[in-house]
Structure 1
Amino acid sequence: MERYDRQVRFAGFGESGQEKLSNTAIMVMGAGALGTHAAELLTRMGAGKLIVIDMDIVELTNLHRQTLYTEEDVRLMKPKVEALKEKLQQINNDVEIKTLNTELNSQNIVGILQEHQPDIVIDAMDHFEIRFLVNEACHKLDIPWVYGAAVGSKGSVYAIDYEGPCLKCLMATMPATGESCEINGVLPPVTTQTAGLEVSEVIRFLSGEGFSRKLITVDTFGMNYKTMNINALKDDDCIVCGQHKYEHLEKETFRPVQSNCGRVFTLRFDDSIFNAEMNGEVIKENRFVKFINYDGYEMTLFNDGRMNVYGLDGMEEAEALYREITEGLPVNQHQ
């Protein structure tokens, strides 16, 4: 316990809280700003096991707010989960760290949760659509989870268990932290504070205090901090926690062309495209990813068939590019 002496000395946590933490498996969904900060805190505090999921590589624009990543990770185009695991193991090698370099969707999220059996889930995703899946999957499997979002200077946190209001119940009162980071930007302090609050909810839960039952919002530029008691917001007729219907899990969410934050679009092909011959110049590559210059477009091709294309002006242009690339591929090398 000497390593964790300062946190054990806190009466609300103590040796019992430390023992519980050291025997807990925590899944961190996302290895961006919220995920890296949360994973680092939990590693330093001595969590028993971390399962970190992300599908992206480290990019230069990540470094201002995503902790532990370096310019060398950018140069090597390392997958975020691999780069993060390397750094976390240097911090605390006693923590078991499992990484999944994959995309979460309606077809695999329940299976991933069932296979890895986390005791609690931390949301560190960057868009609301996936959080509806997390909400439904965790409710279906009775796994407590902590919602967190940050954009601009504003962050919000809400910890959800099987008994309290779920994310669907709260949607009418959720703060505007689902805005575009391209339009609103994001200040690094708000990601640090939001992730810290998410971990705080985890610590409360493991210490026997339970979740705070509060929707917490912060504005690091306006210097505001607010909490709202959410018990009264429980909707007995909620389609998720009231009726146990999981519409997002049951519908097909695959989209061959998807708009992301900024002027970035994801095009999805069969994974065989990674080794196929296609037009364009491969600038850099490793076994996970290729950086390609294609007819003036810069694109990142992942080994699972995802392709991020940068600087597109809209969906129409993205769909036209998708058709062009698809028509140039051998049969069965697109989704």
Structure 2
Amino acid sequence: MDRYDRQIRFQGFSESGQENLSRATVMVMGAGALGTHVSELLTRMGAGKLITIDMDIVEMTNLHRQTLYTEEDVRLMKPKVEALKEELGQINSDVVIKTLNTELASNNIIGILKEHQPDIVIDAMDHFEIRFLINEACHKLGIPWVYGAAVGSKGSVYAIDFDGPCLKCLMDTMPASGESCEINGVLPPVITQTAGIEVSEAIRFLSGAGFSKKLITIDTFGMNYKTMNIDALKNDDCTVCGQHNYEHLEKETFRPVQSNCGRVFTLRFDDEIFEEELQGKIIKENRFVKFINYDGYDMTLFNDGRMNVYGLEGQEEAETLYLEIAGSLSANFHK
């Protein structure tokens, strides 16, 4: 316990809190900006087992806000979870680090949660479709979770159990995707602050103090910090926590052509495409990913069949490209 002496000395946490943390399994969904900060904090604090899930590789634009990744990781096109595991293992060898290089979706999230049985889940995703899916999966399985989001200079955190409102109570309809890091930018300090509050909620819960029951919002540039007790927003007729209706779990999470943050579209094919001889030039590759220039487009092809295409002007152009690539393959290859 000597390495954790300074946090144990805090009366609200103490040795019993440390013992609970050291026995806990924490699942961090996402290894981007929030996920890397959250994972590093929990590793330094001595979580028992840390499970981090992500499906992307490290890119140069990640480095200004995603901790622990390096330019060498970018050069090698390392999956984020692989790079993160290496660094976390150097920080605290007592923490069991488990990583899943996979994309969370309606067809696998329940199985992942059942297999790994986390005591708490921390959200570090970057869009609400997945957060609504996490909300339903955690409610269905009775797992507490911490919602967190950051864009521009603003961040928000809300820890969810079954005494207070769930995410669906707060946001009856999914927010529009107009506010994004590509449009609004993101300042690294708001990432650090938001991740810190997420971890604070997690260790409160694990130490026995319980969640704060507050929606916490910050503006790191405006120097504002607000909290709001949202018990009044609990909806007894909520389709999730009131009626146990899990619509996001019951439908396909992703479409064959999907817009992401920035002028990036993801095209989805079956994983056999990774072994296919595609038109275009392979710039570099490893067993996880291939970087390809195809007809003037730069694209990253992952070994699970996802293809990120950069610089597209809109949905119509993306769908045209999808049909073109799919048409050059056997009909069995595209989803």
CA distance in 1, matches of 2:208, 2:268: 44
Q: Which residue of 2 aligns with 1:298?
A: 298
CA distance in 1, matches of 2:73, 2:306: 20
SS at match of 1:330: coil
Q: Alpha-carbon deviations, 1:281-306, whole Å to 9, x = none?
A: 00000000000000110000000000
CA distance in 2, matches of 1:149, 1:207: 24
CA distance in 2, matches of 1:199, 1:46: 12
RMSD: 1.4
1:57-96 residue pairs with structure 2 within 5 A? 57-96=57-96
Q: Which residue of 2 aligns with 1:252?
A: 252
> Does the CA-based 8 Å contact 1:146-1:158 persist in structure 2?
yes
1:261 matched to 2:270: no
Q: Which residue of 1 aligns with 2:44?
A: 44
CA distance in 1, matches of 2:286, 2:168: 41
Letter paired with 2:193: Q
CA distance in 2, matches of 1:173, 1:77: 37
Distance 1:177 1:169, change over 3 A: same
Q: Which residue of 1 aligns with 2:117?
A: 117
CA distance in 2, matches of 1:126, 1:215: 18
1:281-320 residue pairs with structure 2 within 5 A? 281-320=281-320
- Identify the range of structure 1 (228-237 vs 44-53) with the bigger mean alpha-carbon deviation: 228-237
Q: Which residue of 2 aligns with 1:324?
A: 324
1:152 matched to 2:130: no
Q: Which residue of 1 aligns with 2:237?
A: 237
Letter paired with 2:4: Y
Q: Which residue of 1 aligns with 2:226?
A: 226
TM-score normalised by length of structure 2: 0.98
SS at match of 2:217: strand
CA distance in 2, matches of 1:294, 1:229: 52
Q: Which residue of 2 aligns with 1:195?
A: 195
SS at match of 1:249: coil
Q: Which residue of 1 aligns with 2:107?
A: 107
Structure 2 unmatched runs, 5+: none
Tell me the percent identity.
83
Q: CA deviation at 1:177?
A: 9.5
Distance 1:130 1:174, change over 3 A: closer
CA distance in 2, matches of 1:30, 1:208: 26
> Does the CA-based 8 Å contact 2:129-2:174 persist in structure 1?
no
Distance 1:146 1:176, change over 3 A: farther
CA distance in 1, matches of 2:300, 2:316: 20
Distance 1:174 1:41, change over 3 A: farther
Q: Which residue of 1 aligns with 2:4?
A: 4
1:13-52 residue pairs with structure 2 within 5 A? 13-52=13-52
Distance 1:130 1:188, change over 3 A: same
CA distance in 2, matches of 1:231, 1:321: 48
Q: CA deviation at 1:230?
A: 1.1
> Does the CA-based 8 Å contact 2:31-2:54 persist in structure 1?
yes
Q: CA deviation at 1:128?
A: 0.5
Distance 1:175 1:214, change over 3 A: farther
Q: Which residue of 1 aligns with 2:139?
A: 139
- Identify the range of structure 1 (274-283 vs 168-177) with the bigger mean alpha-carbon deviation: 168-177
SS at match of 1:247: coil
> Does the CA-based 8 Å contact 1:266-1:306 persist in structure 2?
yes
CA distance in 1, matches of 2:18, 2:299: 45
Distance 1:176 1:272, change over 3 A: closer
CA distance in 2, matches of 1:71, 1:5: 34
Letter paired with 1:225: Y
Aligned pair count reads 335
Q: CA deviation at 1:172?
A: 6.1
Letter paired with 2:223: M
CA distance in 2, matches of 1:132, 1:241: 12
Distance 1:105 1:175, change over 3 A: closer
